[in-house]
Structures are given as structure tokens and as C-alpha cells.
Structure 1
């Protein structure tokens, strides 16, 4: 008989903002937003003091300032956040090699068979949180359960600086009263579609047959069917392959003309290709992201049989995707380019002379 899995989800509390408050004592206890205060700025992270006013990550800076006039903006220092994240992951590695990072400040750990003998996953989570605080001065929240879905739900339950356990057999009852909009893996659009079908809670979701869910949600149906019952067989994946590489920029001044858009897109494509080259990877799908000044957003994609072979080919494809959107119906505030369906260029080298435009 298989042992019951012991999964911990660690989530740092307001990570970027907490690092800034740690390093600048005058910011402690004050509403802080990591980001730029300019008209085109976006909040990357907000302290808990700022969140009380409704300030959230991804919010336009002008909106955040309106909600909290006393808000203090601090420019991001990603090199510092990466260094602190490395410290935190070194703590994780003392207990298990099975670590699946989700971002700089969040990870799953499988401690079913830990490196250090401890009586429970709960005890391990407590030790990890104490070590993180002692070594970085920052607080973390933890969720402990028998699968990833429940562990992530649990880590949100006692935030900030808290810990919660969902023991074996308790998952189905725990999710029954929760809104589906709070489930990791169900985004706002999917939650709205579920609500339209009369599915508002975990209990509502559990009443749906797998056939009905497949009809409405396709291949995601099996996951939804399982989590409504507190089930999630997904393993913790220490070496989960990256799915995409992208770059986007919000511009200080609206882009209005072709001779502004094309050079901007070329710069983005070159940056993405540089990132791909460093990782010895390329991809078969190119996606263009465009956000107008009124925040309406469009994405356009094209996939190829072979991986993108060069920076020039990536630029040409990005320009090809932009062309049907011209002339602009309104000014553009953000552009982005992403390469996905990634593959190693070391394993399957691309044909350098391939002109992708001939396939478009």
C-alpha cells in the first residue's frame, strides 16, 4: 500500500514588498507598492498595509495611488529578490530534493520521505518557516496536505505568517463550501462559465458528472472533477520544463504609428531570442500581445512545424502577426512577444537558412 503523500506549499508573504520593508526600516508599517509611480506604471507587489486600501499587484499605478494617497512606490530590485529566493530554496533543500518552484516566492515540497527525520509534515513546515525568518528576516505561510491542490488552498487560509493543515480524508469537506473562483487552476473566465451553469461552490462542482464537465470544459474536466472531491494526483515536479519565454513592455508614451510599432516589436523579439539562446532552446509557436490605451487586449499566435531558427525569423513572425492589426484603431500602451512549444536546440538543431515567412 502506497504511503499517504505529504505535500507542503510555501508562499512568502508579500515577498517583493517585504524585502523592501526589511531593507529600508522607514518603510515598515507603511503602505508600499513595488513598481513605478508614473502614469504608465503597474504595481508588481503591494505590502499588506497597502492591500487594506485595495491595492493589488497588476493594478495600474494611477489607480493604486487613487485608492491609497499615502502609497509609497519603490522601484523593483529583481537581482535582490532572486538572491533572497536562492536563500529560501536552500532551506527547502535541507528537507527534500523534491521541490517544484512556482515563482521566486512560492514552491511545492514533497516531504513524504524527508531527508531529515521529523514526526510530520506539519513539523517540517514549522521548521522551514522558522529558518526562513531567522535567515532572511521574512515571513512565510505554509499549507500542508496530501496533494498539491489542497496544500495551496491551505497556505492561503492563515496568511500572513500562518500555517494550516488539511489532513487525509478532509479534503472533500474542506472544498465543499469554497467558491470555485478561489480554486487554483480555475481562473476568472472559467469561474464565470461555471457560475453560468449554476456551479458556485465545490459542492456544486461535485454534483456534475464527468461527461457534463468534459462537454463544457474539455480536457480540464478531469482535473475539475477530481478537485471537487479533494483529489489531485499531480506529482511535485522538481524539473518541470519551462513552457514559454516572453517579454513585454508598457511604454511611457502611447505607440501610434507603424514606424514606432515595428522597431519596438523588433527590440522585444531580440530580447526573447537572447533569452532563448542562453537556455539553448527555441519554440514552434510565436504569440503577439497588444494592449490598447483603453486596456483592451489582443493576442495573436502562429505555430510552425519546426522550431524558430533565428532572431530574424522571430522578428519576421512577430511583424507578420502585427500587420493585420494595422492601421491601429487606437493607440497602444503595451506590446509583448512570447515563444512557446519549446524544444532544446542542442537536441534538435534548427535549419539556419529556413525562412519562416514562406510558411506564413
Structure 2
């Protein structure tokens, strides 16, 4: 039974652009419309719904995708176009309500509860927003409307593509409980397989169990969270005004074999990008996180923290390379298809603990000079020598700066 002391209104929107990268390509090139396309180079970064119907999925190798869909059209990504489209859509979000929580470059939560006296009902706001995105930006978008962000997210998943779905507060159980576990936000393949092993298939199956049983099967934290999810006890408000917790980028390098020098060069190219973004945002980094994906689609994460936050590209590069070296055995055994870097524990550059330059040049001045060149002549004006042959690849953007 869903219980809440607050007024039960469905006023949270989850707006999610459909097959975002692929939709931008189809918008900008009429020859690609209604055709199966995959955006990427060696690895599928995004697939149109025409390609998805053939079984093409994100993170699949280009070879696998072509086997599933012989008519597939492969398109190289244009990240500047995607960032521009994302900014245009987020402008519409902020024109709708100041309560916007960005989730990624192509999705956000909007809280429209405060508009109930001055605007139309939330589901009509959602319909208007969809029309604005279509007419002003030229992209399809799906919107779920519900009492909580979690339910709104699940509603948009069910409504895709190019749909609108309202989950009324008195219909939450009827909507949620018949859904397969894989539709629940936060239930990944591993958790789903574990639950299937107990004969649990739907959200309703899980809702029939006591919390202690779920905690025993999944662990205390995961069991408690899933129990709250299937009983509608997730937070009811969006989170706004929070400073970004990380700055990152990743590069899909496809199936190998890849030489260690190639992987290292790809990583250092990403380091240069995220450090430029960090300094442009006047932030400092406390921790460097390395992310790897392997040929078998498994992942690994390594991290290293600094004694004091830094803005130095050399410091970040040294930490990233050390983390990569620590994963050398895994890379040899499994083969790597994606490398990523993230800077976390971000702080303000208004207060930076300086380090005495006891040896060598002032690398802070070098970073500043490189940033100035990139700002004036473009980010491609300066490139590491190791990337001249390998190329910078595709550094997947996150939320627009």
C-alpha cells in the first residue's frame, strides 16, 4: 500500500530525449530519417529505433551490429552538435520551471508542483514541453509524469519512444507491479538475474516479500532500497542547485588488440580534456577515477586521491597513468574497449594549497598558457604528439557546461 503524508500529486516530469545522438543525425541529414543508423566508430554509442528493432544496442561492437542489421548505416559522432542540441533543450526545461535536475546530456527531472496556481496541470505541461522540443529543436522526447522522480523515470521508459505517460497517485501499484524487474530504475542485469534465481519476475513479486528477505538476498542496503522502490517510498522531490560532483569523459576504442602505448595515449587525451574543463569551471580535483570496459562487457574502476586538491594537468596525468598501470593484468587478460577518466571531490580554485616548485618548470603557468591557446584557437590547436596517429577519438560529453 502506498502511503504518504504529503499531498499526493503527480507533478514530477522525467524528460528523456529519444536515441539522442542518432536523432540529432537524422534531424540534420534527411537521408538518414527512418533508416537504421548507429553512431560511433568501432563501438555503437547510440542507435536509432530502426536499428534497435534489429537488436542493435549501445556498447555493441560495430561488427556485431552489422551482423544483426546488414542495412545499418554507421555515422561518426559530432559531439559539438549534440552539446548544442542539449543546451537548446535544457533552455526549454528552464523556461518551463526553475526546478530542473539534469541527469545527463539528454535527460532531466522537472518539478512543476509550484506551478499549480499559474499554469495548466502537469500532464498538459508535459505535452506542451514535448511539442516545444519537437518544434523548436526538432527532436523527439518522451516524458513520464508521476509523484516521484523514480516513478516518472520508469514511466518514461515504458512510454518510449516519443511518448507521454501519466502515473496517477491512485494508480501507482497498478502501473508498477506488473512491470518486469528490468524496467525498474537501478535494477541492473546482475541484480535481475539474482532475483530471477529466486523465481521473482515482476515488481509485484518483489513487493510481496518482507524487507528482511530482500536484505538477505541482496544485502542490507540493496534490499532496503528495492523494498522502498516497489512500495513507492522513494524521495518525492528533485535535487536542484547542487554543484556538479565530477567532471569526466570517456573514449570508446573498439575491440583490440590495442598496444599499451595506444591505450595510454587515449587516456592522456581524455586527461587533457577534463583538466581544461575543470580549470574553465574554476574547480580543483581531489580524486582521479579511471574507468575501463573490457571485451566481455565487464567493467573495472580504480581511483587515487591527492593530499591536496589540484588544478595541475601533470598531477592528474601522473595519477591516471599509475591507475592504468595497476590494471595492466586485467587489460591483458580481457582486452579493453573503453577508457574513461573522471575528476571527483571537486572544490573551488579560490583556495588552492600551493606546492613549492623545488624542481623543474612551473607547470601551472604551462597549463594556463595551453588553456589560453585552446580558448583562442580551438581545443584542437594543441594535441599531444602521441595522439597524432591514434587520433583523439570520441570523448563522450556529459551535461553541458
Query: TM-score normalized by structure 2?
Result: 0.77
Counterpart Cα distance in 2 of 1:218 and 1:307: 34
Match among 285, 288, 291 for residue 286 of structure 1: 288
C-alpha contact 2:92 2:129 (8 A) present in aligned 1: yes
Alignment of structure 1 residues 9-24 onto 2, 5 Å = 9-24=14-29
Match among 16, 22, 31 for residue 26 of structure 1: 31
Call closer, same or farther: CA 1:51–1:335 in 2, change over 3 Å: closer
Give the match for residue 202 of structure 1.
203
Counterpart Cα distance in 1 of 2:76 and 2:17: 19
Give the match for residue 8 of structure 2.
4
C-alpha contact 2:310 2:352 (8 A) present in aligned 1: no
Structure 1's unaligned 5+ residue stretches are 356-360
Counterpart Cα distance in 2 of 1:157 and 1:293: 30
Counterpart Cα distance in 2 of 1:354 and 1:241: 31
Counterpart Cα distance in 1 of 2:289 and 2:182: 27
Match among 318, 322, 330 for residue 324 of structure 2: 322
C-alpha contact 2:284 2:349 (8 A) present in aligned 1: no
Cα deviation, residue 145, structure 1: 1.0
Call closer, same or farther: CA 1:334–1:256 in 2, change over 3 Å: same
More displaced 10-residue stretch of structure 1: 266-275 or 183-192: 266-275
Call closer, same or farther: CA 1:309–1:3 in 2, change over 3 Å: same
Counterpart Cα distance in 1 of 2:221 and 2:357: 34
Match among 355, 375, 378 for residue 352 of structure 1: 355
The Cα offsets for residues 318-350 of structure 1, whole Å up to 9 and x where unpaired, read as 233233444663585446343354221335424
Alignment of structure 1 residues 113-262 onto 2, 5 Å = 113-114=114-115, 117-215=118-216, 216-251=218-253, 254-257=257-260, 260-262=262-264
> RMSD value over aligned CA atoms?
2.9
Give the match for residue 398 of structure 2.
none
Counterpart Cα distance in 2 of 1:351 and 1:337: 28
C-alpha contact 2:18 2:142 (8 A) present in aligned 1: yes
Q: How many residues align?
A: 350
Counterpart Cα distance in 1 of 2:36 and 2:318: 44
Structure 2's unaligned 5+ residue stretches are 359-401
Counterpart Cα distance in 2 of 1:100 and 1:232: 16
Counterpart Cα distance in 2 of 1:234 and 1:348: 36
Call closer, same or farther: CA 1:351–1:44 in 2, change over 3 Å: same
- Please give the secondary structure, in 2, of the residue aligned with 1:329: helix
C-alpha contact 2:290 2:342 (8 A) present in aligned 1: no
Cα deviation, residue 56, structure 1: 1.6
The Cα offsets for residues 110-133 of structure 1, whole Å up to 9 and x where unpaired, read as 110128833411111111111222
C-alpha contact 1:95 1:115 (8 A) present in aligned 2: no
C-alpha contact 2:12 2:146 (8 A) present in aligned 1: yes
Counterpart Cα distance in 2 of 1:351 and 1:154: 49
- Please give the secondary structure, in 2, of the residue aligned with 1:20: helix
Give the match for residue 358 of structure 1.
none
Cα deviation, residue 238, structure 1: 2.7
C-alpha contact 1:94 1:116 (8 A) present in aligned 2: no
- Please give the secondary structure, in 2, of the residue aligned with 1:254: coil
Counterpart Cα distance in 2 of 1:354 and 1:195: 58
More displaced 10-residue stretch of structure 1: 322-331 or 6-15: 322-331
Counterpart Cα distance in 2 of 1:294 and 1:203: 32
Cα deviation, residue 306, structure 1: 3.8
More displaced 10-residue stretch of structure 1: 111-120 or 84-93: 111-120
Give the match for residue 57 of structure 1.
58
Counterpart Cα distance in 2 of 1:81 and 1:341: 24
Counterpart Cα distance in 1 of 2:231 and 2:154: 14
Structure with the greater relative contact order (CA < 8 A, sep ≥ 6): 1 or 2? Answer: 2
Counterpart Cα distance in 1 of 2:163 and 2:155: 10
Cα deviation, residue 146, structure 1: 0.8
- Please give the secondary structure, in 2, of the residue aligned with 1:113: helix
